[in-house]
Amino acid sequence: MDYVSALLPPVVMAVFFISVIRVIVKTQGGANKAKEDAAVDAALARAEAARQSSASPSPEA
């Protein structure tokens, strides 16, 4: 019975990992894909604008 208790945690973790991967794959695409892509593009644009504004030298006279 020691082998059962030794193998149970890795088997449970493997099943959990496979189920998480299946959920991730199933939720890709679909009706919300365009909305999710737009949200990511907007976040990247904000990050790029913030990076450029902090990198540009401020004019000091």
Whether residue 61 has pLDDT greater than 60? no
pLDDT at 58: 57
pTM of this prediction exceeds 0.75: no
The confidence score (pLDDT) of residue 3 equals 84
Q: Give me the helices (H) in the chain, please.
A: 2-26, 33-55
Tens digits of residue pLDDT in 2-53 = 888 898 999 999 999 999 999 988 888 777 778 888 899 999 999 999 888 8
**Closest residue by Cα to residue 54 from 44, 46, 39, 43:** 46
Q: What secondary structure letter does DSSP report for 61? A: -
Q: Which residue has the higher pLDDT, 3 or 57?
A: 3
- Tallying the residues shown for the chain, one arrives at 61
DSSP state for residue 59 in the 8-state scheme: P
